[in-house]
């Protein structure tokens, strides 16, 4: 037995040669390697002319050629460069120590605050939940935004889209929600946005108190598409971890469109044919997989709600990503430019937005008040253009008169300053009082 152990020790000390492959092609994002067995999803390193090693992942193969995609911008690669397969699984350790920290798509800290430590191993993918064992959505989630809490109540475990063109206030709204929500942990994925926006989001929108309970996963627009895809998946895995630890988690992803665009870049590089608006079909099968990994798990004491921003380019609500998001999410909040232009912030268009879980989680009185507010707004919209012309004459229809008279109060109720807090119970009480 001792001899055996000794022999093992000796053998362990003998260096074993690792077979390396060779780079034979690089076109666009895709690198081609031959000469060593690689499997899809495997990590490897490629030697550059400067002697550095570039990290990449195997994304496909044909015959003996493996296709790799680098994590960083590929420079200094030559034909015949060594490709070193990595066999050990890289695992990350996660715990409550991750709160207040910022990581990239590989889970490496990028905030200069030192190593990340934790007591548990982070899965490489969010665990798949049997749909029959998912904890149902039955409790409201306080997001601290009056228009949402009262008119588009979200539930713990619900996944919604925040749809709008650029510059309408998506990021600012996410910042308000991160600061004011009563969730225990907020995981924020900043995917494919401008780097300047990242700093702005952290300093201005989030602030120190928002950051304390948040984990940020960041992959700005200048990151490789692989990193953007991995960062989006990473924030789902992190959120699922805290959910399974029994925490109420809110996941915010800005933006789902940029994730779809990164998937498009990867799929097109691999030779998949483009279909709708240049998006290959695999993009539309990946989106539901991602969204399905959010939501509640089997542990009833934890929950995971998610808000995805979706860019409606040119305020186009027919964009294929917008369409898909609408179909796979449990609701959508539409922000419109016309409201933002009037200074009505948050620019939520109540009429176009819907929360599919709302009716099953709120009281009857709340539901009636919300319905009555919607009806009142619709009435007012009918005569909106007549009022400034002086063509609206009160007295013909008492319901419309009431709607017109109430309108300024409703607008005031739906607007909210960025520093103003709006707890759930107060929102509901105010709504019921307003519509009484």
Site for ligand ADP contains 314 (CB under 6 A): no
Interaction between residue 228 and ligand ADP (CB under 6 A): no
Q: Enter the DSSP assignment of 203.
A: I
Among 170, 366, 380, 407, binds ligand ADP (CB under 6 A): 170
CA atoms within 13 A on the CB side of 176: 23
416-435 residues in contact with ligand ADP (CB under 6 A) are 418
Within residues 336-365, the interface with ligand ADP by CB under 6 A covers 345-346
Helix (H, G, I), strand (E, B) or coil at 132: helix
Least distance from C-beta 252 to ligand ADP, angstroms? 12
Work out whether strand 82-85 and strand 43-47 pair parallel, antiparallel, or are unpaired: antiparallel
Q: Is 48 in the site for ligand ADP (CB under 6 A)?
A: no
- 315, with CB counted inside 10 A (0-12, 13-18, 19+), is middle
Q: How far from each other are the two terminal CA atoms of the chain, in whole angstroms?
A: 84
Q: Are 225 and 265 a contacting pair, CB within 8 Å?
A: yes
Binds ligand ADP (CB under 6 A): choice among 41, 167, 395, 408: 167
Minimum CB distance to ligand ADP smaller for 77 or for 172: 172
Radius of gyration of the chain (CA): 25
Structure tokens at 373: 């507010």
240 binds ligand ADP (CB under 6 A): no
Q: How far is the CB of 350 from ligand ADP (least distance, A)?
A: 16
How many CA atoms within 13 Å lie on the side-chain side of 282? 13
Should residue 168 be labelled a site residue for ligand ADP when binding is judged by CB under 6 A?
yes
- What is the β-pairing status of strands 65-70 and 331-334? unpaired
In 3D space, the residue among 57, 70, 84 whose CA is nearest the CA of residue 27 turns out to be 70
| Closer residue to ligand ADP in complex, CB, 326/344 | 344
Give the residue at shortest CB distance from ligand ADP: 169
Instruction: State the pairing for strand pair 21-27/82-85.
Output: antiparallel
278: tokens are 């240049």
Nearer to ligand ADP, 47 or 193 (CB): 193
Options 40, 117, 166, 299; binder of ligand ADP; rule CB under 6 A: 166
CB of 139 to ligand ADP, least distance (A): 27
Asked if 142 and 310 count as a contact pair (C-beta separation under 8 A), the reply is: no
Q: 170 or 379, CB closer to ligand ADP? A: 170
**Choice between 171 and 303, CB closer to Mg ion:** 171
413: contact with ligand ADP by CB under 6 A: no
Task: For 134, list phi and psi in degrees, rounded to 5.
Answer: -65, 135
Q: Is the dihedral of CA 172, 303, 246, 191 positive or negative?
A: negative
Q: Which residues bind Mg ion (CB under 5 A)?
A: 170-171
Q: Which stretch binds ligand ADP (CB under 6 A): 55-63, 164-172, 288-296, 355-363?
A: 164-172
Taking CB under 6 A as the binding criterion, the range among 167-175, 216-224, 229-237, 293-301 that sits at the site for ligand ADP is 167-175
CB of 212 to ligand ADP, least distance (A): 22
Q: List contacts with ligand ADP (CB under 6 A).
A: 164, 166-172, 345-346, 418
């Amino acid at each position: 037995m001792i001899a055996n152990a000794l022999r093992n020790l000796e053998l362990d000390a003998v260096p074993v040669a690792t077979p390396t492959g060779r780079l034979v092609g690089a076109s666009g994002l895709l690198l081609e390697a031959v000469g060593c067995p690689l499997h899809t999803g495997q990590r490897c390193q490629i030697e550059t002319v400067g002697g550095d090693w570039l990290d990449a992942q195997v994304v496909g193969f044909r015959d003996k050629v493996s296709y790799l995609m680098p994590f960083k911008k590929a420079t200094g690669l030559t034909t015949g460069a060594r490709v070193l397969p990595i066999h050990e699984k890289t695992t990350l350790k996660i715990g409550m120590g991750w709160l207040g920290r910022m990581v990239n798509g590989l889970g490496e800290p990028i905030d200069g605050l030192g190593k990340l430590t934790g007591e548990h191993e982070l899965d490489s993918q969010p665990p798949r939940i049997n749909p029959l064992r998912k904890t149902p959505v039955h409790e409201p989630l306080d997001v601290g935004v009056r228009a949402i809490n009262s008119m588009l109540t979200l539930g713990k475990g619900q996944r919604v889209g925040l749809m709008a063109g650029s510059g309408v206030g998506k990021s600012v709204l996410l910042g308000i929600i991160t600061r004011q929500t009563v969730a225990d942990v907020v995981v924020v994925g900043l995917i494919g946005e401008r780097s300047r926006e990242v700093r702005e989001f952290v300093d201005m929108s989030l602030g120190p108190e928002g950051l304390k309970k948040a984990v940020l996963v960041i992959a700005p627009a200048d990151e490789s598409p692989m990193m953007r895809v991995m960062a989006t998946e990473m924030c789902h895995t992190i959120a699922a971890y805290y959910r399974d630890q029994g925490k109420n988690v809110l996941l915010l992803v800005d933006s789902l469109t940029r994730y779809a665009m990164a998937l498009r870049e990867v799929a097109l590089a691999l030779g998949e044919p483009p279909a709708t608006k240049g998006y290959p079909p695999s993009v539309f099968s990946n989106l539901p997989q991602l969204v399905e990994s959010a939501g509640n798990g089997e542990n009833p004491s934890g929950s995971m709600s998610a808000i995805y921003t979706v860019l409606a380019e040119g305020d186009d609500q027919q964009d294929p990503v917008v369409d898909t998001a609408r179909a796979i999410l449990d609701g959508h909040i539409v922000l419109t430019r016309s409201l933002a232009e009037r200074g009505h912030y948050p620019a939520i268009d109540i009429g176009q937005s819907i929360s599919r879980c709302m009716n099953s989680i709120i009281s009857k009185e709340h539901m009636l008040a919300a319905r009555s507010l919607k009806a009142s707004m619709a009435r007012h919209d009918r005569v909106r253009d007549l009022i400034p012309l002086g063509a609206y004459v009160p007295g013909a229809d008492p319901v419309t008169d009431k709607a017109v008279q109430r309108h300024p109060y409703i607008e005031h109720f739906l607007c909210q300053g960025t520093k103003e807090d709006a707890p759930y119970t107060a929102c509901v009480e105010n709504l019921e009082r307003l519509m009484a």
